[in-house]
Amino acid sequence: RAQNPICRRGGSSFAIVLTETYIDIAFQVAEKLKGLIECHQFPHREKQPAGRLTIAAGVASFNDDIGTSDRLIVKVQKAADDARTGSGNRVIKAV
């Protein structure tokens, strides 16, 4: 949607802001995006691990418990870091 900005956070990190979206729906969107990226025939994909491009994503939702956007970023970054461990190519919900 046009109201959902995509921004580069640095290096290979990006953020997609899904406004007015429940965390379960955001998780589904991230899973769909992961599948699309994994299956896409990117040029030079053979140079990637397992011959394909993958993502590790964290999903978080802003609520009263979070309080500030800085705390939201910390939570989603921790979830993304957790997704990178092991085999990667995962989406994890922040708790």
pLDDT computed for residue 66 by the predictor: 80
Residue range 38-51: average pLDDT? 84
CA 81 to chain centre: 10
pLDDT computed for residue 36 by the predictor: 92
The CA dihedral of 89, 91, 94, 95, to the nearest 10 degrees, is -100
Residue type, 95: V
pLDDT computed for residue 33 by the predictor: 92
Residues 48-95 have pLDDT tens digits of 777 888 889 999 988 767 888 888 888 899 999 899 887 778 999 987
Quick check: pTM over 0.85? no
Residues 14-28 have pLDDT tens digits of 888 888 889 999 999
- Whole-Å CA distances, 79 to 42, 51, 57, 82, 92: 26, 25, 7, 5, 6
Within a 13 Å sphere around the CA of 68, how many CA atoms are in the beta-carbon half? 3
